[in-house]
Amino acid sequence: VAAVWFNVVMDDGSANLDGFSAVTEERNFPFWQGFALAHRGIALARSGQVEQGLALVREGDAVHRAIGTSWGSPQSLGSVARYLPPEDGLPIVAEALEAMESSGIRWFAPELTRIRGDLHATAGRLDVAEASYRAALDEATVQDSRHWAMRIALSLGTLLQRLGRVGDIAPL
């Protein structure tokens, strides 16, 4: 179950969602049922059905809140927000960051901040995007998270190249 969850987080597990959902239902694992709903929502968002996907993510989060947990909410919200236009996605990212701060569980903070940067870049606010990427890279460094740091460095490097600041990429 956890392996499927991680694959979905990393954009590569939607093919396993039916089996994931079946196991969580069969074994009555509400914690994982919430993730199954949220990940189905993320898969819908990825396929272009963003509003329906966001609704399922919120339904999964409601399942989690009902059993007294909410640490997956920031990851689920952020994963859907990146498929929205900036004016719709940025408030979702802000909500996810707020949920993360209130829970104190920060493992997804670098990625949320990177997604915020992507949305600002899409909106043409390149200076704000760069600041978001740099803040995300700082958070990844604090967490000693090389995975997040690599994802962020790629986004920041792409932005710097777009800005014609190729010389600034090497230190990344």
Residue range 6-39, pLDDT digits in tens: 665 555 555 667 666 777 777 777 888 888 888 8
Backbone φ and ψ for 125, nearest 5 degrees, come out as: -90, 75
Helix axes 2-9, 17-26, angle to 10 degrees: 140
116's tokens: 């915020």
Mind listing the pLDDT tens digit for each residue in 128-149? 999 999 999 999 999 999 999 9
